[in-house]
A = this chain, B = another copy of it.
Amino acid sequence: METKTAPENRIFNLTASERFTQIRNRSVEICRPLETEDYVVQPVVDVSPPKWHLGHTTWFFETFLLQPHFPDYKVFDEQYNFVFNSYYETIGARVIRTDRGNLSRPSVADVFRYREYVDRHMNDFLDSSFFTPELADLVELGLNHEEQHQELLVTDIKYILGHNPLFPAYTTDQVSEKRTEAPSEMISFPEGVYEIGYEGEGFCFDNELGRHKVYLNDFKISTEPVTNREYLEFMNAGGYEDFRHWHAEGWDWVKMTNAQSPLYWHKVDGVWMNYTFNGLQEIDLSDPVCHISFFEASAFASWKGMRLPTEAEWEVASDHFDWGRRWEWTNSAYLPYPGFKKEAGAVGEYNGKFMINQMVLRGASEATPPDHSRKTYRNFFPTNLKWQFTGIRLAK
């Protein structure tokens, strides 16, 4: 989920090395409340251990910037390539299959030493004459890559703590998620030719490029995301038991996984509770529903007699409503924009190969790093996953 093309380095009035340090530190901050043990586990295949995220993003800078472009740089540990690069580790002629969650070493302390070592050299590099303008894009990509993993860190930490039977809180700071519920209304857009896709001079990923015209029919879209209150109505109305609202594959998924509610919801003594970063709490009915699969989003929309918007409709309408608390499922398959081209080499080929059997999500979420969202951003996930901060906006 990581590539880009950016016309120029983005400075935010910071030097390159200040900006580098700021973003890199944020990853460490996210992990600060964790116990050492929390860094290690991988409860399901989609969730990576926090220490792996910390190592992998570091490996990116070491491998793509320091090693090829910073003379005399000495790799921190030759073997880390086996650990932080991919699933198949090769040592001499040996190949060992491991899962990330089985790796107790390198230790958390080792990973932090690795980060400090690479960060120190990166700062030297960014202040040196070896950091040429042509490399600015690559640094920017590395930082956006880091920010993507910051979002995954938040998501995965929630999964790790939220699937522990002790339900430990991530923070004891009172994180109020409560808000007044805004009245939702549908806003209308007329039929015609619109333009979508990234334009401008800042950073974007390659899958957003190729600004192009689309023809849209008349449509209406809601100003507010669907709330827990509304989703609970769907549940109470038997939404999970009525096959008519589900795709055939979604209905199989419901039966196989016994899906009955958003992830992290638990019925305790007849009351629906929700695991939050403050621990297990009663459902906040006015909050936007969160942690649902595409199948559930689509079934909810059908039950409402509406539908999910397409990604083009969402992008065209996005200036007219608030977004950013939930990744919003669209009914658009993740496919290339007209003229999309895979770039050459390892860095360039990342987005294209996922363009099948996944659906586009638009917006951003509470887990998204600040300054890492824009209306043209194309997030994507398979239709069965719930562990992201996903929600619903209706259209018709």
**Which residues in A have some Cβ–Cβ distance to B below 8 Å?**
35-43, 79, 82-83, 89, 91-94, 96, 98-99, 101-108, 160-161, 163-168, 191, 193, 212-215, 217, 244, 246-251, 266-270, 294-295, 298, 307, 331-333, 335-336, 338-339, 349, 353-357, 359, 383
Contacts and interface: CB of A to CB of B under 8 A. Distances in A.
Nearest to A302: B342
A353 B217 contact: no
Interface centre among A39, A103, A167, A214 (most CB of B within 10 A): A103
Nearest to A43: B102
Given A163-B98, A335-B331, A107 B36 contact: yes
B354 A248 contact: yes
Nearest to A103: B164
A333 to B, nearest CB: 3
Contacts of A267: 93-94
B335 A166 contact: no
A83 B333 contact: no
Given A93-B268, A193-B193, A383-B356, A79 B166 contact: yes
Nearest 6 CB-CB pairs, A to B?
Answer: A333-B333, A43-B102, A37-B104, A89-B165, A215-B215, A217-B338
B164 A98 contact: yes
Given A41-B40, A193-B215, A356-B383, A163 B96 contact: yes
Contacts of A106: 166
Nearest to A356: B247
Contact of A356 (B215, B249, B269): B249
Contacts of A248: 353-354
Nearest to A168: B105
A50 to B, nearest CB: 10
A217 B339 contact: yes
Contacts of A160: 102, 104
Contacts of A269: 92-93
A353 B246 contact: yes
A244 B342 CA distance: 10
Contacts of A356: 247, 249-250, 294-295, 298, 359, 383
A353 to B, nearest CB: 4
Nearest to A334: B333
A295 B266 CA distance: 36
Nearest to A340: B307
A346 B41 CA distance: 32
Nearest to A111: B37
Nearest to A352: B247
Given A269-B92, A269-B93, A37 B107 contact: yes
Nearest to A219: B338
